[in-house]
Amino acid sequence: MRVPVVGRKKYSNPFSQASNSPIHTTRDKPSSKETETPPILILDPAILRPECLAQDRLVKWRPVQSPKIQLIRNDGRSITDILSEGLAENTRKSYAPGLRCYHQFCDAKDVAEIARAPASHTLIVEFVGSIIGFFAPSTIKGYYYSVDAWHRLHILPFPNAERELNLLLKAANVFAPPSSKKPKRAPITVQNIEAIHSLLNHSDPFDAAFYACLVTCFWSVSRLGEFTVERKDVTFDPKKHISINNLRDETDRNGNEVQILHLPSTKTERVNGEDVQWAQQSGVTDPVSALKHHLRINKPSSKEHLFSYTDKGLRVILSKKKFTDTLSKLTKKLNIFQVYGHSLRIGGTLEYLLRNVPFLVVKTMGCWKGDSFQIYLRRHGQVLASYIQDKPIFQQLLKELPPVRTSGE
């Protein structure tokens, strides 16, 4: 089942009766990633929707109707618990605001508990239609799928409203609030990385780990979240996190060397993981030298995360937040704006494409499974410049250019 990622922003309250009316909420236990939908009404009854972590909400928020027979394994886990493992933790967490919004909508409309699940086709369409104009289309789509997932985890039928959803999402594009439009992620360039290098103290343990992560992630066009951890207090898990054991060197028959890092668990391959790779580069952005320097300074063991470092005498894993906060501070000093963690993946992709590396090779490097890779072609005309001239410079590679438009556009 394809799982879209939910966008998370705070917008106007779509269900409030008056702007000056009192608003009550059910407080959730804190979660580092979750941004809730606007607070609206008390979620009732609490026995069906108890306070819990965002990533547990799909399971612990129970519909009043559920199968009479719940399979209980020897380890005490129900079929719903097992089904939930089919969704990544970040996906379960990102679905939490959508499920909350659905019940807030039902509360506002006095929808009986028994009618909320299994929901009728009309109720789902009304729910999606009610939040148009308050959220971005990507958020609305995610909210729809969050209710879908909630039904499926509790083994209840969910109405197929895909056709109506597609029409409503087109309407949502028209009515989307300006605040819902995310600024474009600017690509980080090799020149930017060289400038960042000049601002760092390379004898500092954190700076060494940060820079090694930056250049290896850039040259392997990888997802930053798979090179870091969500929080610095996360316990290292070799089934999920990278370590020095996952690193190896290979040489092809022509003597070309490549460094390969096996990611134990990725967004698209949670169990078997995937390999990413990089090769030596000239200058200070060389990922091989930067990683070697980090290993010499921080000496991560085989039982630690690859990007572990020492901070005030304690061993710490490089977290995504720490990385992005540092990247933001450095780029602002350099007057480079709209740079985010994903800018590394965008920048690495564009660098290889501008070096005339075939599209399919770059797509393979970045472990793209679908057509999302094509967005880089639509947004960055410079990549296509050499291919659309009167006499294309790269005639052979022109045959490999994937279609720029996708169905439905």
pTM: 0.70
Each residue of 329-346: pLDDT tens digit? 999 999 987 787 788 888
Q: How confident is the model at residue 369 (pLDDT cuts 50, 70, 90)?
A: confident
User: CATH code for 190-373?
Assistant: 1.10.443.10
Each residue of 156-183: pLDDT tens digit? 999 999 999 999 999 998 888 777 666 6
Q: How confident is the model at residue 358 (pLDDT cuts 50, 70, 90)?
A: confident
Each residue of 42-83: pLDDT tens digit? 445 668 899 999 999 999 999 988 765 566 666 667 888 888
Q: What is the pLDDT of residue 364?
A: 83
Q: What is the pLDDT of residue 71?
A: 62
Range of weakest confidence among 47-51, 131-135, 227-231, 404-408: 404-408
Q: What is the pLDDT of residue 179?
A: 72
Instruction: Flag whether pLDDT at 351 surpasses 80.
Output: yes
Q: What is the pLDDT of residue 405?
A: 43
Residue range 361-367: mean pLDDT, rounded: 83
Instruction: Flag whether pLDDT at 220 surpasses 80.
Output: yes
Name 276's bridge partners: 261
Q: Which of 60, 307, 82, 321 is nearest to 208 (CA)?
A: 307
CA 150 vs CA 5, 91, 102, 169, 371: distances in Å? 15, 12, 11, 21, 27
Query: Strands of 274-278's sheet, edge to edge?
Result: 247-251, 257-263, 274-278
Q: What is the pLDDT of residue 374?
A: 67
Instruction: Flag whether pLDDT at 395 surpasses 70.
Output: no
Q: What is the pLDDT of residue 26?
A: 37
Cα–Cα distance for residue pair 242/323, rounded to 1 Å? 16
Q: What is the pLDDT of residue 355?
A: 86
Q: What is the pLDDT of residue 28?
A: 41
Q: What is the pLDDT of residue 305?
A: 96
How many percent of the chain have pLDDT more than 90?
Answer: 53
Residue range 310-318: mean pLDDT, rounded: 94
Instruction: Flag whether pLDDT at 378 surpasses 90.
Output: no
Each residue of 234-281: pLDDT tens digit? 899 999 999 999 999 999 999 999 999 999 988 778 778 899 999 999
Residues in CB range of 97: below 8 A, 6 or more apart: 6, 8, 34, 35, 36, 37, 54, 143, 146
**∠ Cα 61 65 67 (to 5°):** 100
β-pair type (257-263, 274-278): antiparallel
Q: What is the pLDDT of residue 216?
A: 97
Cα–Cα distance for residue pair 109/100, rounded to 1 Å? 14
* 373-406 CB burial, b ≥16 within 10 A, e <16: bbebbeebeebeeebeeeeeeeeebeeebeeeee
Hey, where are the domains in the chain?
Answer: 1-182, 190-373
Q: How confident is the model at residue 18 (pLDDT cuts 50, 70, 90)?
A: very low
Each residue of 190-199: pLDDT tens digit? 999 999 999 9
Q: What is the pLDDT of residue 42?
A: 44
Q: What is the mean pLDDT of the chain?
A: 81
β-pair type (274-278, 308-311): unpaired
